[in-house]
Amino acid sequence: MAKSSLVVTPLSTDAGRLARVQEVSADVSERLVGICDNLSREEFRELVRQIAEVTVKYEAAAELRAARTETPPKLRAVDP
């Protein structure tokens, strides 16, 4: 029987990604609320959502890459 190559990580599920987007949105919103005074409430929410989605996209890619990568062998000392 062939081994499945599907790797399941927390961010590989819709629920996991949604939860992480909400966490990142809360953090980004808190950090930017005083900086983006010139944006309307809707523009601010859209900016925060886009930042959160891009952040989670790259976190998910890194998480998947880490899950697929074998632990590297111990590094050997290199003579200068």
Per-residue pLDDT of the chain (80 residues; tens, 9 = 90+): 444 456 778 888 889 999 999 999 999 999 999 999 999 999 999 999 999 999 999 999 998 888 887 666 666 556 55
Is 2 domain-assigned? no
Q: Which domain holds residue 48?
A: 39-67
Is 63 domain-assigned? yes
Cα separations (Å) of 65 from 8, 36, 76? Answer: 11, 34, 24
Q: Within a 10 A sphere around the Cβ of 4, how many other Cβ atoms?
A: 7
Q: Which pLDDT score is estimated for 9?
A: 81
DSSP-H helix ranges across 1-80 = 14-32, 41-68
Domain count of the fold of the chain? 1
Is 54 domain-assigned? yes
Is 32 domain-assigned? no
Is 78 domain-assigned? no
Is 44 domain-assigned? yes
Is 58 domain-assigned? yes
Contacts for 17 with CB less than 8 Å, ≥ 6 apart: 11, 56, 60
Cα separations (Å) of 57 from 8, 51, 73? Answer: 15, 10, 29
Is 56 domain-assigned? yes
